Amino acid sequence: MPALSSTSNQRALLCALAAVGLWSTMATAFKWALEFNSPMALITLAATVSWCFFAVRAVMVGSLKSLSVMDNGLVLRCLLLGLLNPAFYYLILFTAYDLLPAQDAMAINYTWGLTLPLVASLFSRKLPSKTEAGLALLSYLGILIIVTNGNLATFEFDQPLGVALALLSTVIWGLSWVINSRVVDANDINPELALFLNFSAALPLLWLGTAVAGELPSVSMGSLIGGLYVGLFEMGIAFVLWMNAMRLTDNPLRISSLIFLAPPLSLVLIGNVLNEVIASSTLFGLVIILIGLAGQQLLDRSK
């Protein structure tokens, strides 16, 4: 049994590292893909790829059969959640990336780890603890350092709308995660099947929206590669790898700590692929954000 446990944990570690490796490329991929498509067109194209991925997965493992015995109300809830995430969440996130430097949008987006427990506390009707609130404020100080380029006295943002949208995306993510987790856990639904239903509801709305807005995805090579990469790896394969890692490990908190590797790896890619000059204020602000996230991890561990 110990040997089996060790093997399982090793597989969990490999899956988690692979997922983190993929997620670390996303800031660069988002910014690059947005050179060929609008945010609406990119989410539409990427969501289509993800829907195909989860449809194939559902057929392969036979989870589609369980739809016939699922309560209609439960199926409807899963479908409606798709309007929140992926549709609304990624539209807001991609718009933020379109407006901000990739390094700024990435750093702000990683505060979802602090937004999530704050949103969850609202659902449980419990106020956040002083420690949770303090950690959140610390990370938001890091955001202010980044978006003001370290000039806190002036308190001037280059792209206030982009900053607001990036922050809003973390709230939407936390909201969708909490609601989806409650629906999935309470009804013992296969998470991948739930995602398939989420994307099934989002796709018609996204294609209709892009058509009405006159922003249908282009058929250029850059557009298709960007949509394929984001849809397959960010919304598909990385999620499956992470879920497998959490299922295989006997220490989920240790595995979840690996997410701290993604931001610095992202900055390396942003600097070398997108040729963005990484500002010292971004590095300092990101360190403060990560300290806040690390504190939340320790708080979770103590609980």
pTM for the model:
0.89
Q: What does the pLDDT read at residue 4?
A: 46
124 class by beta-carbon count within 10 Å (0-12 exposed, 13-18 middle, 19+ buried): exposed
Write the CA distances from 303 to 85, 133, 296, 300, integer angstroms: 29, 16, 11, 5
- In angstroms, the CA 173 to CA 130 distance is 23
- 39-61 and 221-229 helices, crossing angle to 10°: 50
At residue 155 the predicted structure's pLDDT band, cuts being 50, 70 and 90, is: low
Q: What does the pLDDT read at residue 3?
A: 44
The string of pLDDT tens digits covering residues 254-269 is 788 888 889 999 999 9
Token couple for 125: 């009707």
Note whether 135 and 299 are within 8 A (CB): yes
At residue 2 the predicted structure's pLDDT band, cuts being 50, 70 and 90, is: very low
231 pLDDT above the threshold of 90:
yes
* Tally of structural domains, the chain: 1
Q: What does the pLDDT read at residue 278?
A: 92
- In angstroms, the CA 12 to CA 249 distance is 5
Note whether 109 and 93 are within 8 A (CB): yes
Q: Which residues contact 15 (CB under 8 A, 6 or more apart)?
A: 241, 242, 244, 245, 248
Q: What does the pLDDT read at residue 8?
A: 85
The string of pLDDT tens digits covering residues 31-50 is 999 999 999 999 999 999 99
The overall average pLDDT reported for the chain is 87
- 89-99 and 160-187 helices, crossing angle to 10°: 150
Strongest mean pLDDT among 45-49, 72-76, 192-196: 45-49
- Hunting for tokens 């973390």 — which residue is that? 170
- In angstroms, the CA 265 to CA 66 distance is 40
1 pLDDT above the threshold of 60:
no
Helical spans, DSSP H, in 24-159: 26-33, 39-61, 72-82, 89-99, 102-109, 112-123, 130-147
- In angstroms, the CA 264 to CA 294 distance is 14
Coil vs helix vs strand at 64? helix
Note whether 47 and 87 are within 8 A (CB): yes
Note whether 258 and 16 are within 8 A (CB): yes
Host domain of residue 125: 2-302
At residue 303 the predicted structure's pLDDT band, cuts being 50, 70 and 90, is: low
- In angstroms, the CA 75 to CA 90 distance is 22
